[in-house]
């Protein structure tokens, strides 16, 4: 059975496992390195689709359609 645990890496590069985790000798372990701030990563598909969407977004009738939502300055 697979189980997932969250661990951290200290400033020296040592893996810090949860205190309550006991691994039996000979255990097989997989390690996945997560990005530092996954919530701020931009999806590649978004970047790739931007030029094709911009063709529609930059039309004058689009500005007119959304004009009612623009705040007066």
Copy the structure tokens of residue 9: 């890496």
Q: Which domain holds residue 56?
A: 42-73
Tell me how far apart the alpha carbons of residues 23 and 5 are, in angstroms, rounded to a whole number.
12
Q: Tens of pLDDT along 29-64?
A: 998 888 765 555 667 787 788 888 888 888 888 888
Angle at 33 between CA 13 and CA 14, to 5 degrees: 15
- pLDDT at position 39 is 58
Q: Is residue 47 part of a domain?
A: yes
Note if the pTM is more than 0.75. Answer: no
Q: Is residue 61 part of a domain?
A: yes
Q: Is residue 28 part of a domain?
A: no
Tell me how far apart the alpha carbons of residues 12 and 19 are, in angstroms, rounded to a whole number.
19
Mean pLDDT computed over every residue of the chain: 83
Q: Is residue 36 part of a domain?
A: no
- pLDDT at position 70 is 77
Residue 13's CB is within 10 A of a number of other CB atoms, namely: 6
Q: How many domains does the chain have?
A: 1
Q: Is residue 63 part of a domain?
A: yes
């Amino acid at each position: 059975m697979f189980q997932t645990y969250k661990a951290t890496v200290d400033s020296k590069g040592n893996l810090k496992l949860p205190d309550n985790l006991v691994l039996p000798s000979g255990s097989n372990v997989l390690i996945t390195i997560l990005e530092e701030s996954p919530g701020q990563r931009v999806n590649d598909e978004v970047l790739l689709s931007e030029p094709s969407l911009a063709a529609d977004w930059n039309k004058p009738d689009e500005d007119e359609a959304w004009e009612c939502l623009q705040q007066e300055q």
